[in-house]
Amino acid sequence: MGQDGYALGVALMVDLILKQKGNLKNDLLSGLTVSFALVPEAVAFAFVAGVDPAVGLWAAFFVGFITSILGGRPGMISGATGAMAVVMTAFVVIYGIEYMFAAVILCGIIQVLCGFFKLGKFVRLLPYPVMLGFVNGLAIVIGKAQFSQLKENHSLIYNHVSDSFEIVGEWMSGGNLAVTAGIIVATMLIIHFLPKLTKAVPATLVAIMVITLTVTFTPIQTVTVKDFVDTQVVFSLEKKQKTKEFNEIKGDLKVSEVDAKGEEIAASKIILLKDESVRKAGRFKIPDIPVSWNSFTIIIGLAITLAAVGLIESLMTLTLIDELTETRGRGNKECKAQGLANIVAGLFGSMGGCAMIGQSMINISSGGRGRISGISAAIFLLCFIVFPPLWTCIETIPVAVLIGVMFTVVVATFEWTSLRLWNKIPKSDFLIIVIVSAITVMHDLAVAVASGVIISALVFAWKKSQSIRADVRDDGGTKIYSLEGPLFFGAITNFKQLFTPPTDPDNVIIEFQNTRVYDHSALEAIKNLAEKYRELGKILKIRHLSVECQNLLKKAGSLIDEDVSHDPHYHIASNQLD
């Protein structure tokens, strides 16, 4: 008995340690590890969005710090993510970074409202095929975005279709392409094979350090993060000035002169003026955009998309961590915290973000369980940002290294097992995976997930509509229909076909013991059926309705005129009369 009690005590202690909210030492060490992984990915995602690396790094700090303190899932890591970055790319090019900051703030407000209205619970409605399509589509979009970085010799051209100026480049070739490809492959090989030797240091960080040092101390010539940022700043400034010049004279031109003048301005040489409106990331400032309805219409679309994408990815990650730790996070609290984090991020000149699946898995596997793990990761990251020598090191990172990091993320994110499911799961589920992935690539993640949910719901409704059936028997001159299956809008047609009022006897009973009435359409179908029997002078009784079904019928007084227990018009009776 003593040994059994001792064993039980040990088991309880082990269970308590495994499920504890946090351990200070483990959380701090895990936070340090995560911060190393946050640096390259924050820079890479900023690179995808077409903004300065500082914009991504500050986003990782603000979003990670605030959600770790106030969020609903201790141990989950948030920061700048690829899902939100890819949505921002075209928007930044068209409208500029200030509009992006405003959209991030509005995104945060929407997310806070979602939390207050308790919409976080609806993540449970996401079918697994939709999640697979979401993940696969995200991986494809991130991978596709990397190829645009394999261009050089950029220039500004005039687009005849959109009447606007665009930054374009030529595909790399020859030696430059060979060097870039070599760096990408080397980066991916290090990230893949280093964990097989040691997991003491994040492989991503090692790959970036090794390749950066190799390029720095050898004659290898390649584009660095500083080169890329400087090029983007110059061309963005040139585009802004030429767009302003073009718009000032466009109204005085004939239609036939517009294109020629646009090409002339695009090819002209100008003296770039310093843009005083550009602010440094990490400094508080209200976004510099006109306060007007037009500005609102510009940012609302991106804000809704960012809010949806951010919440979907965060709540999916929260659900995954719940399963791994056998605990339960609070989705609505996470919505509010993420919203507040994005509001602050936008006000301080950063790109916003959401939960990061990869970093969260690193944290959990490293022993991080409590809020300290996320808080410490954000504080360590802040040290990297504000310490000048470390910031200089970030600027020397070759662009090809970040492309390699992102390709690795793509490989790890894509659910390769889903490719083998085509003949092992229902065809409708596999089709949903393909559709969600395709819409993600062609449009955006939010529309893709919404489409997937709608298609899944329609498929489910169709399948369930086929399951309504009846066991018919005769009991002393009374015909009894024993129904089985759900009765809702999709099953109405099949429900009507089960009955033959003209040939039925004078007394008919419908047994609802094995079925349920779910909606208005079902009530209307019952009403119409009762009306048919009444017109034929026959009595219809309904028995064994569940309490929920009886309540639905009672609430439908406008349809059935009177309580079903005493209905003289349709001769409907419930089991209360029997």
The CATH number linked to 571 is 3.30.750.24
- Statement to judge: residues 208 and 135 lie in one domain: no
517 assigned to some structural domain: yes
Last residue of a domain, one of 397, 417, 435: 397
The tens digit of pLDDT for each residue in 137-196 reads 878 877 887 887 888 888 888 887 777 788 788 888 888 899 999 999 999 999 889 888
- Statement to judge: residues 145 and 241 lie in one domain: no
| Domain ranges, residue 508 | 466-577
- Statement to judge: residues 250 and 317 lie in one domain: no
326: tokens are 């056998």
- Statement to judge: residues 492 and 528 lie in one domain: yes
- Give pTM, 2 decimals: 0.71
- Statement to judge: residues 52 and 130 lie in one domain: yes
Look at the chain and report how many structural domains it folds into. 3
pLDDT on residue 103 = 93
- Statement to judge: residues 124 and 171 lie in one domain: no
Which amino acid would we find at residue 179?
V
Mean pLDDT, contiguous 10-residue spans, the chain (578 residues): 44 39 75 79 75 84 94 89 80 83 94 89 77 81 80 83 78 88 93 84 81 90 82 76 82 80 83 58 83 90 89 82 80 92 93 84 77 91 83 81 84 79 83 88 77 88 86 88 89 90 90 84 85 87 73 55 39 41
433 assigned to some structural domain: no
415 assigned to some structural domain: no
- Which of 577, 183, 80 lies closest to 405 in space, CA to CA? 183
Which amino acid would we find at residue 49?
A
360 assigned to some structural domain: yes
Radius of gyration of the chain (CA): 31
- Statement to judge: residues 84 and 173 lie in one domain: no
pLDDT on residue 258 = 81
Cα separation, 229 vs 235, whole angstroms? 10
Last residue of a domain, one of 220, 235, 267: 267
pLDDT on residue 555 = 62
- Statement to judge: residues 476 and 573 lie in one domain: yes
pLDDT on residue 546 = 67
Last residue of a domain, one of 374, 397, 420: 397
456 assigned to some structural domain: no
424 assigned to some structural domain: no
276 assigned to some structural domain: no
- Statement to judge: residues 221 and 296 lie in one domain: no
- Statement to judge: residues 495 and 568 lie in one domain: yes
The tens digit of pLDDT for each residue in 208-227 reads 889 999 998 998 888 888 78
CA 175, 179, 183: angle at the middle one, nearest 5? Answer: 170
CB 544 within 8 A of CB 512: yes
The pair phi, psi for residue 486, each rounded to 5°, is -75, 145
- Statement to judge: residues 144 and 38 lie in one domain: yes
- Statement to judge: residues 196 and 303 lie in one domain: no
How far is residue 341 CA from its own chain's centroid? 17
- Which of 136, 141, 139, 41 lies closest to 86 in space, CA to CA? 141
- Other beta carbons within 10 angstroms of residue 477's beta carbon come to 8
558 assigned to some structural domain: yes
264: tokens are 């002339």
pLDDT on residue 191 = 87
